[in-house]
Structure formats: structure tokens, C-alpha cells
Amino acid sequence: MHELSVCQAVIAQVEQIARQHDARVASITVRIGSLSGVESALLQRAYPLAVAGTALSRARLVIDVAPVRVRCRSCFAETIVEPNRLLCGVCGEWRTDLVSGDELLLASVELERNQHV
Amino acid sequence: MCEQAPVQHLPVLTHLLGSNDRAAAHNRAHLDRHGVLAINLMSSPGAGKTSLLEATIQRLRAHYRIFVVEGDLATENDARRIRAQGVPAIQITTGNACHLDASMLHRALHEIPLAEVDLLFIENVGNLVCPASFDLGQHRNVVLLSVPEGDDKPEKYPVMFRAAELVLLTKTDLLEHIPEFDVQRAQRSLQMIACEAPVIELASRRGIGMDAWCNWLLEQKIGDRSCPQSLPAIG
């Protein structure tokens, strides 16, 4: 359960962005691959607990799950595969390189300008 | 009527664990500067990390200055076992945290006389999930898979085994009692997740595989690719 640590890292980054822009955070989008080591369902559950009392307490969390994609070293085909079966989808070779699927990114933030009276 | 606040969409694209990665890079630079080879040992609880360290220390302590950082949820038991071998050890108790992170190692490094150390072992918290996501600043990740755990663990924990730069198949003296474990099936399970790490079969209490493991350790380079150093050869 290190999803709480990941949430805390997100909060620190986003709070800084909100301060720089003098804005409220409406939503944040994270991009997570199935081979990042972070479970999106657990992250979604940990998020409301982690953001309570922070500048993100009213910000929605959007999780964009990145598919696992490998490039074959034998036939060079790129295929989308399961996270625990990284064999080439065309020729079955096991020596493949990960093209995507281990992302753990803060992709974007939606900000609402603070209305100063 | 309230005025609708204008919404601004801001692309960011930063790594979520960027602050950990920066701390890890700082640790690594610190270790490089002192010529310390740092090895991060990861496995499930009970796979034999501490026994492996005891056996490794017995073989190498006459030639290298070894230091051990022990990560555990609670207790100093593992650090005591290491100190009983005549090697200094620091215990990091993580409380409820399921992994070590770079800042925890950073605090520990400040207590270690790095100028007097050749080889630093970091025994991570026993867990096949969380430690894989946190770079500590080590030079190599070594993952242990013990025979009683079953030969399909790599497919079940792909993130951990993909992080491995060496896989140690431990407790192989139990193979005769656990026929369900097939070494070739374990190798195939590693191939399923495109893991190219070499595999060494080992039973540390019986001394089996210890030569191969120690030779692997002594072949590793410290530092960046442009100016790597090795541990001094055993004289």
C-alpha cells in the first residue's frame, strides 16, 4: 500500500502549481501504466483520505491508465500485451523492450483562478 | 448569480515520484564519490535476505569493509544478526511504511562513515510490491526468490522482478522436498515478463552458489558509465 505515498507526492507537486498560479485546483489527471507498481483502484481509494485538508480537497482525480506496449527485438513489431506476459504479440519472442506501461506521471491540472474581490 | 470561474487546463507531465528520484540521485552521487558499491536486496519476507547477508559477510569481511542498512516495519532483530557477524548495521524501522525510500536512506547515510566502507548492503522491507517503485540510489537491485514461494512468482509480481539486475533463487537445498518447484519453470516465468537478469541458484546456509554470487558482486562497477570503478580485487 504505497499508494498513499504516491498521493502525498501528487499533493506536494499540485499545491506548488496552484500557489504559482494563484488558483484553485478543479481536477488533476495522472497517467499510470499497469507496470508502474501503482494500482489505480487503490490510488483512487487513497486519494480522498490523502487530500482532506489540503488545497486539493475539492479537486477531482482522473486516472488515465496507459496500456503496456512492447517492441520485439527479433521482428521489431510493437504490440499491446498483458503486464505479466510481455512476449511479442506477433512472433512470440520473449526478448522485448517496454515502450510504454510503466508511466507514473502527473499529466495535467485544471485550475480555476481565485476571484479576488 | 455566481460568476463561473474560468478554468485553465495546464499540462504538466512530471514524474509522480520525482522528489524521491532526485533524493535517490543525490544518494547515488554521494556513494559514488566515496567508491561505495550499494546493493539493494529485495524479496518477500522470509526469502533468506538476512541469511544471505550473514553468509556473504563471512566470505568477504576479511577483504572488504561492509556496512548493512536494515529496513523493517519493526524490531532490530536483523541488525543484531548482522552485528553478531562483526559488521556494523543501522536499522531503519519504517513503522507502517511498506518500503524504504530515498529520504530514509539519505538519513541513514549521514550516520555511516562512507570513507571507511567498500560495500553497502541495503536490506529492503520484505515485500514483493512496494519497494520496486522507490529508487534509493543503489547501484544494483538484487531480488531473491526462495523455493518455498513457488516458481510462478515473477509473473505474479512483474514490477519487482523486472527491477532485478540479478535474481537469486534461494533455499535450493529444499528442491528435493518441494518437487512442485521447477527451476526451468521459474526461468520461463522470468522470460514471460522479459526479465533478462542472470539467475544464480543458491543455498546460503550450505554454501551452495556463494562463489557465483560473490563473483557477481565483485564484477559490479560503481559510478556513472563514463568513469566506473570496481571494488579492489581480493589480494
ipTM: 0.89
**pLDDT tens column, A78-117:** 999 999 999 999 999 999 999 999 999 999 999 998 777 6
- All residues of chain B having their beta carbon less than 8 Å from the beta carbon of residue A113 are 5-6, 8
Residues paired with B203 in a beta bridge: B208
- Is the CB of B156 inside 8 Å of chain A's CB atoms? yes
Nearest to B16 among A30, A110, A112 (CB): A30
Q: What is the pLDDT of residues A23-82, one digit of tens each?
A: 999 999 999 999 999 999 999 999 999 999 999 999 999 999 999 999 999 999 999 999
Nearest partner of A24 among A46, A47, A57, A1, judged by Cα: A57
A111 touches B: beta carbon within 8 Å: yes
Burial tier of A19 (Cβ tally within 10 Å: 0-12, 13-18, 19+): exposed
- In tens, the pLDDT along B75-130 reads 888 999 999 999 999 999 888 778 999 999 999 999 999 999 999 999 999 999 98
Are A102 and A94 within 8 A, CB to CB? no
A3-113 CATH pick, 3.40.190.10, 3.30.465.10, 3.30.2320.80, 3.40.50.720:
3.30.2320.80
Show me where the domains of chain A are located.
3-113
Q: Which domains does chain B have, with CATH numbers?
A: 20-222 (3.40.50.300)
Statement: residue A2 has pLDDT above 90 = no
**Sign of the alpha-carbon torsion through A62, A15, A103, B8:** positive
